[in-house]
Amino acid sequence: MDADDVLAAKRAEFVLDGAPPLAPPEAHAVAPPRTPRPVYLDGNSLGALPRTVPGRLHEVVTREWGRLRIRSWSESGWWTAPERVGDRIAPLVGAGPGRVVVGDSTSVNVFKAVVAAVRIAQQDAPGRDELLVDAATFPTDGYIAASAARLTGCTLRPVPAPELREAIGPRTAVVLVNHVDYRTGRLHDLPGTTATAHQRGARVVWDLCHSAGALPVELDAHEVDFAVGCTYKYLNGGPGAPAFLYVREELRSRFDSPLPGWNSHAEPFAMAADYVPADGAARGRVGTPDILSLLALEEALTVWDGVELAEVRAKSLALSDFFLRCVAAYVPAGRVESLTPGAHGERGSQVTLRCAGAGEVMEALIAREVVGDFRQPDALRFGLTPLYTSFADVAHAARVLGEVVA
Amino acid sequence: MDADDVLAAKRAEFVLDGAPPLAPPEAHAVAPPRTPRPVYLDGNSLGALPRTVPGRLHEVVTREWGRLRIRSWSESGWWTAPERVGDRIAPLVGAGPGRVVVGDSTSVNVFKAVVAAVRIAQQDAPGRDELLVDAATFPTDGYIAASAARLTGCTLRPVPAPELREAIGPRTAVVLVNHVDYRTGRLHDLPGTTATAHQRGARVVWDLCHSAGALPVELDAHEVDFAVGCTYKYLNGGPGAPAFLYVREELRSRFDSPLPGWNSHAEPFAMAADYVPADGAARGRVGTPDILSLLALEEALTVWDGVELAEVRAKSLALSDFFLRCVAAYVPAGRVESLTPGAHGERGSQVTLRCAGAGEVMEALIAREVVGDFRQPDALRFGLTPLYTSFADVAHAARVLGEVVA
């Protein structure tokens, strides 16, 4: 399978060698087996380092900041980086140019998007005052949505994702959904939920943290209103790299941000007392962009050159199918249960296994250089990142899991 | 004066050599004089690069991200960096430990602080619905304050800074003031304005962008409620480095953030559906911290080891006095006028000169390797950064300014 992998060459573009392994915890003080390298299956949490990033970042720091200093805002293209990097992400989420801007955290972008979406929904139909959120959302989305609801006079209603479409009613202003559930890896129905919301007069905000770079996302084609996502998972931008915000073309002039910082002004250097928002993607900016992280991300995105998302998706599904087969073969029956849907159409790019003592099991896996992560109370998460995960990696991971559990 | 400078040795800790100069614009196509180096007087916009930052950042990228990857959130101290770096900034602004947190942009922190301050003021006295802001504020503060007012049902009233104290009335919830005016370099009265606001039942938010690292700021001593500031000017954290937020100890448990992201949760990894805010400085966090920029900043702050802010202030005032004397000596009479107050008690750490054709004059200065900046419509700004600006620098700058203007 690795020999037939059309993305196999991409693996060499990442740093995948490891640091010395952790000292094994007392309970598992057995010498770990020799493996060719750590098997890193946590790219759904923090993507691996693309090889060209350290060199580029060194240049940014020593030449652009160190020697050019303030001149770099224009000469090194710092000022326009949020839109430029946004345009690099755009094709990965099915967006045309000028619709994606990079900056701030996902949480802050959820706030911008939800408040702005409520404002648009209420302009169109003043009585709408309900905000729906999928009940199993990544927590920050729910917390931020609650704050947005409080500040805009709305009520927040959590609804299990499969029931969301039916729950959209005449009072619904906005629906906020995670495209892929961070815990189970379940892929939610973006086209259907968006269409139903629009039929019923509501707006949608999609959180793409666990889908951007993992599978095709067709934001323009499905007329999504707003979307946000992080860049440090499948996009490999580095720890805490700035997030992105997508605004639908038709809503661009109606996007009324609750965080209208000076970077989103039509003429930021006029330093005017009155706020006039910029026309394009820059309207989603707030304060001065975080240049070191932003330019590291820009360099990291070059690994996507020439990559087709259909190939990424095909490999992702093949990897998760194969991993589940290996788990069935190597792990004693009844010891783990997949929380990730079997149907391809409902699967993101991770596999989550329920397992008794999952916290200790993950510690033992990491001590044996198989790196996934543990989520409360009983979940083992394994991220499958098609640009650098091999079929041999997942077979090895399943084999070690079987040994640990046994 | 340079020989007597107790901070002179600090200069060697920064990279101050320059890139090849810009091609001189047509209008000034005279060969620039040979100077030992560019004279960088724009540290009030972007601080110079501390020498140890590139090495540290390379280690963060190649070892902590590249090899340890996800383990670095605990093993490399990534998760606690916002509070740890906050505690490094705290003594520079007169704050005790646990009161400063680093993350997000200044604009986003202004939003947190203003909304939270309004909530506290209204809890204490429900009728308060007015937000005062200094009329010459850096634009982003005014824009964000207007958004905060709109979302909390308040009215924004801009008032010229010298009249602010008198303007605080029974309806005033919050006063938002820039400690130093970004344009003129005027230092506003923090102790007096804060005391008056408290006497009249209002809360204060101070923006320290142009004072943190430039002069002593005694936040705890003057019982300031909230403060924000950037870290890329006098704190030399790098372009767009994350900003900081200070919350007064007595208000810690009442700080009700409008951006309650998962990083501010009491137990972030419990991934709980209900939001319970953290107790300490972490309550001001929002999303995943921007690690590359944050750790570059942390390294940059090591240049402050052993530095007394009283020495910084004394040198800053001596530099601006000397620069103004050199300007008087070298620039033909009547060609420039200082917008920066003469009284030391009203002066920050920059000198702003009004000058006809200021835009072209600054271009000519930069072509001759004297780097300040231009602000609309007619202002030349020269930042004096006591850790690396010498008296010879400012004398040279004044001499070149005289030649250019003549």
Q: What is the pLDDT of residues B14-49, one digit of tens each?
A: 999 875 544 444 444 444 444 457 999 999 999 999
Site from B147, B264, B376 to mutate, A interface, most A CB atoms within 10 angstroms: B147
List pLDDT tens digits, range B174-188: 999 999 999 999 999
Compute the mean pLDDT over every residue in chain A, rounded to the nearest whole number.
Answer: 94
- Decide if B271 contacts B220 (C-beta within 8 A): no
Q: Compare all CA atoms of chain A with the CA of B289 and give the residue at the minimum distance.
A: A240
- Decide if A131 contacts A253 (C-beta within 8 A): no
Q: What count of Cα atoms within 13 Å lies in the side-chain half-sphere of residue A132?
A: 27
List pLDDT tens digits, range B265-288: 999 998 898 999 999 999 999 999
- Decide if A243 contacts B287 (C-beta within 8 A): yes
Average pLDDT of the residues in A377-395 = 96
- Which pair of structure tokens corresponds to residue A28? 């598992």
Q: Which amino acid is at A183?
A: R
Q: At what angle do helices B358-367 and B391-405 cross, to 10 degrees?
A: 120
Considering only the beta carbons, identify the residue of B240, B262, B290 that sits closest to A140.
Answer: B262
Of residues A216, A197, A188, the one with CA closest to residue A313: A216
The single residue of B5, B42, B87, B207 carrying the catalytic annotation is B207
Q: How far is B60 from chain A (nearest CA, A)?
A: 10
List pLDDT tens digits, range B243-262: 999 999 999 999 999 999 99
Of residues A14, A82, A85, the one with CA closest to residue A50: A14
Partners of B265 in the β-ladder: B277
pLDDT greater than 90 at residue A73:
yes
Residue numbers in A near B230 (CB within 8 A): 288
Site from B14, B56, B235, B288 to mutate, A interface, most A CB atoms within 10 angstroms: B288
- Decide if B210 contacts B47 (C-beta within 8 A): no
Q: Strand, helix or coil at A16? A: coil
Report d(CA B398, CA B327) in Å as an integer.
Answer: 5
Q: Which amino acid is at A107?
A: S
- Which pair of structure tokens corresponds to residue B96? 């005790």
Q: Which CATH architecture has domain A79-304?
A: 3-Layer(aba) Sandwich (3.40)
* Residues B105, A287: C-beta atoms closer than 8 Å: yes
Considering only the beta carbons, identify the residue of A22, A111, A273 that sits closest to B259.
Answer: A111
C-alpha torsion sign, points B350, B355, B357, B360: negative
Is A138 an annotated catalytic residue?
Answer: yes
As a whole number of Å, the CA-based R_g of chain A is 22
Residue A192: CB atoms within 10 A of its CB come to 12
pLDDT greater than 50 at residue A113:
yes
Q: How far is A266 from chain B (nearest CA, A)?
A: 13
% chain A with pLDDT above 70: 96
Q: Give pLDDT, residue B37.
A: 73
- Decide if A351 contacts A323 (C-beta within 8 A): yes
Residue A18 pLDDT level (bands cut at 50, 70, 90): confident
Report d(CA A130, CA A154) in Å as an integer.
Answer: 5
Considering only the beta carbons, identify the residue of A68, A135, A262 that sits closest to B140.
Answer: A262
**CA dihedral angle for residue B48, residue B52, residue B54, residue B55, rounded to 10 degrees:** 180
Query: Lowest-pLDDT range, A257-271, A320-334, B11-25, B391-405?
Result: B11-25
Homologous superfamily of domain range A8-50+307-405: Aspartate Aminotransferase, domain 1 (3.90.1150.10)
| Contacts of residue A397, Cβ cutoff 8 Å, sequence gap at least 6 | A39, A41, A323, A326, A365, A370, A372, A382
Q: Which long-range contacts (CB under 8 A, 24 or more apart) does B123-127 make?
A: B123/B254, B124/B201, B125/B201, B127/B170, B127/B171
- Which pair of structure tokens corresponds to residue A318? 């093949």
Question: Was B141 annotated as part of a binding site?
Answer: yes
Q: Compare all CA atoms of chain B with the CA of A268 and give the residue at the minimum distance.
A: B139
Q: Compare all CA atoms of chain A with the CA of B286 and give the residue at the minimum distance.
A: A107
* Residues A240, B288: C-beta atoms closer than 8 Å: yes
Average pLDDT of the residues in A282-288 = 98
- Decide if A15 contacts A34 (C-beta within 8 A): no
Q: Give pLDDT, residue A36.
A: 54
Q: Which amino acid is at A151?
A: L
Site from B102, B107, B283, B294 to mutate, A interface, most A CB atoms within 10 angstroms: B107
Alpha helices (H) along A52-201: 53-59, 72-75, 81-89, 106-124, 139-152, 164-167, 190-199
Report d(CA A35, CA A37) in Å as an integer.
Answer: 5
Is B207 an annotated catalytic residue?
Answer: yes
**Bond prior to A377 in cis (omega within 30° of 0):** yes
Q: Give pLDDT, residue B138.
A: 86
Compute the mean pLDDT over every residue in chain B, rounded to the nearest whole number.
Answer: 94
User: Residue B74 to residues A93, B71, B77, B265: CA-CA distances in angstroms?
Assistant: 31, 6, 5, 17
Question: Was B258 annotated as part of a binding site?
Answer: no
* Residues A262, B69: C-beta atoms closer than 8 Å: no
Average pLDDT of the residues in B385-398 = 97
Q: Give pLDDT, residue B200.
A: 97
Q: Give pLDDT, residue B26.
A: 47
Listing DSSP states for A209-257 in one string gives TTTTTTS---TTTTT-SEEEE-SSSTT---TT---EEEE-GGGGGG---
Considering only the beta carbons, identify the residue of A53, A69, A230 that sits closest to B46.
Answer: A69
Q: Give pLDDT, residue B137.
A: 84
- Decide if A104 contacts A286 (C-beta within 8 A): yes
List pLDDT tens digits, range B181-235: 999 999 999 999 999 999 999 999 999 999 999 999 999 999 999 999 999 999 9
Report d(CA A151, CA B3) in Å as an integer.
Answer: 57
Alpha helices (H) along B103-230: 106-124, 139-152, 164-167, 190-199
ipTM of the predicted assembly exceeds 0.85: yes
Q: How far is B119 from chain A (nearest CA, A)?
A: 11
- Decide if A212 contacts A304 (C-beta within 8 A): no
User: Residue B284 to residues A4, A365, B62, B102, B253: CA-CA distances in angstroms?
Assistant: 49, 35, 30, 8, 12
pLDDT greater than 70 at residue A395:
yes
Residue numbers in A near B287 (CB within 8 A): 104-108, 140, 243
Considering only the beta carbons, identify the residue of A61, A107, A292 that sits closest to B262.
Answer: A107
Residue numbers in B near A58 (CB within 8 A): 54, 57-58
Average pLDDT of the residues in B350-358 = 97
Report d(CA A317, CA A218) in Å as an integer.
Answer: 18
Q: Strand, helix or coil at B201? A: coil
Is B315 an annotated catalytic residue?
Answer: no
The domain limits of chain A are 8-50+307-405, 79-304
Q: How far is B46 from chain A (nearest CA, A)?
A: 6
CATH number of B8-49+307-405: 3.90.1150.10
Is A226 an annotated catalytic residue?
Answer: no
Of residues B284, B292, B286, the one with CA closest to residue B205: B284
Partners of B100 in the β-ladder: B246
Residue A30 pLDDT level (bands cut at 50, 70, 90): very low
Binding-site residues of A, in ranges, read 106-107, 138-141, 207, 210, 232, 262, 288
Residue numbers in A near B262 (CB within 8 A): 107, 138-140, 143
